[in-house]
Each structure stands twice: as C-alpha cells, then as structure tokens.
A and B are shown apart, each in its own frame.
Chain A
Amino acid sequence: DVKVTQSSRYLVKRTGEKVFLECVQDMDHENMFWYRQDPGLGLRLIYFSYDVKMKEKGDIPEGYSVSREKKERFSLILESASTNQTSMYLCASSEHGGSYEQYFGPGTRLTVT
C-alpha cells in the first residue's frame, strides 16, 4: 500500500519562528509536491521537486523554501513564520511519466500565533 507520511498532524508556532515540515514517501517516486489548502482557494502549489536536490517554484513560493536531500524526503521550510501562513499543508508524490496520479499525505494543520 502506497504511503506518504507527514511529520506532524498539528503544529502551533509563534510569529518569526523557523518551521520545518517533513514529508516522506515510500513509493520511490521521483516527483514530490507541497501544497497549502485554504477554504475557497483549493490546493495551491508552493514548490515541487522532480529529483533529488532539484526544485521548482510553484504558484505561491513567497515565504517558503524547500529541501530534498534524499529521494524519499521533501521538506518545507518557513524561514520566519507569519500569521498569514496559518493553513493546512499537504505533501504529495508521483512517479515520472505515465500516470499523473498524485498520492497525498494526511496534511499538517499549522497555526502561527
């Protein structure tokens, strides 16, 4: 059974803190994605990676960075958390070519106070 896991289900951080969200997939997928989900806005792509150490900006990269040192792990970093980054963060993975199907983790609900 395919699996994408995220390090935390709920996280509360203070404004200005550095925040790390971790995602691990066990499907040997090349592509990994970070989205944020907000009511009425759907899923918006923050960053994605198509290979180890490779990354590309998505639609809303401002205030975020990512790291992919190993194929199975993709980290989202909030350098200095702000209240407008309070959201649900979803990680997904997919394989190169063939099906476009993305497999999602359960999400991390981040609250920045």
Chain B
Amino acid sequence: QQQVKQSPQSLIVQKGGISIINCAYENTAFDYFPWYQQFPGKGPALLIAIRPDVSEKKEGRFTISFNKSAKQFSLHIMDSQPGDSATYFCAAGRGGTSYGKLTFGQGTILTVHP
C-alpha cells in the first residue's frame, strides 16, 4: 500500500526555471513532511521539511507548500540550476510509537539543462 504518491516521475527544466514536484498522502496521522535529495552514488539527504501547522516553508531557493485539507504538499525549486539535478523524494512521518518511521514517495528524477 503506497501511502504517499509522488509526481511526476521525471522532470526536465531549463536553467533558471521553476521545478515543481507534488506529493499526496492518505494517513491524516502524519505530522512531518520532509523532502530528501539524492545525487548519483550517494544516499538521500534531508533538504527541507515542514510540519502541518504551517502552510509554507522556504529555505533559499527551495519552498514547501502544504495543503492540509487536500492532503497534498509540493516542493518548488526557484531559479533551478544544473547542480539541482538529482532524485527527489517526498516523505511523511509521525511521532509517538512510530519511532520516526518515514513513508517515502516514488521519487522524481530532476534534470536541469544549462
């Protein structure tokens, strides 16, 4: 059962453009929504994360938009650069006895052309 659905599977953007990746979740108990970035040959690394008490979080060129009622969240990369080319994963997690387990989306391969 895939509780977090991510789209698109791949994305090609020109340098300077905006990259948008979307995720939808089902379990309303989730209370933590991170995005991970993975470069070839490396493990994923935390990029940015949001909790459901805010609708947007921005860190530099990266912004998470969160819509609690729609159970959707998205990653926006402004002024996309070739160095942003990577695989991006959204995820959802919850506290309590789940020990910080995360449920990941399917991943998006982003290619930024110079």
Quick check: A101 and B46 within 8 Å, CB to CB? yes
Task: Say whether A78 faces chain B, with CB atoms less than 8 Å apart.
Answer: no
CA distance A106 to B40 in the complex (A): 10
Per DSSP, chain B at the interface is loop
Pair A45/B101 contact, Cβ less than 8 Å: yes
B89 near A43 (CB under 8 angstroms)? yes
The answer to whether B34 touches A101, judged by C-beta atoms less than 8 angstroms apart, is: yes
Which chain B residues border A59 with CB–CB below 8 Å? 1
Number of interface residues of A (CB under 8 A): 29
A106 touches B42 (CB 8 A): yes
Interface residues of B in 93-108 (CB under 8 A from A): 93, 95, 99-107
Residue among A40, A44, A50, A107 making CB contact with B99, cutoff 8 Å: A50
How far, in angstroms, from A43 to B93 measured CA to CA in the complex?
Answer: 14
> Does A40 contact B9, Cβ atoms closer than 8 Å?
yes
Select A100's contact among B34, B42, B43, B45, beta carbons within 8 Å: B34
Total interface residues on B, CB under 8 Å, equals 24
Please give, as numbers and ranges, the residues of chain B lying within 8 Å of A100 by CB-CB distance: 32, 34, 49, 93, 95, 100, 102
A110 is an interface residue with CB less than 8 A from chain B: no
30 A-B pairs, CB-CB below 8 angstroms?
A: A31-B100, A33-B101, A35-B104, A40-B9, A42-B6, A42-B89, A42-B107, A45-B102, A45-B103, A50-B99, A56-B99, A58-B101, A59-B1, A90-B44, A92-B43, A94-B100, A100-B49, A100-B93, A100-B100, A100-B102, A101-B49, A102-B46, A102-B100, A104-B44, A104-B45, A105-B43, A106-B42, A106-B43, A107-B42, A107-B43
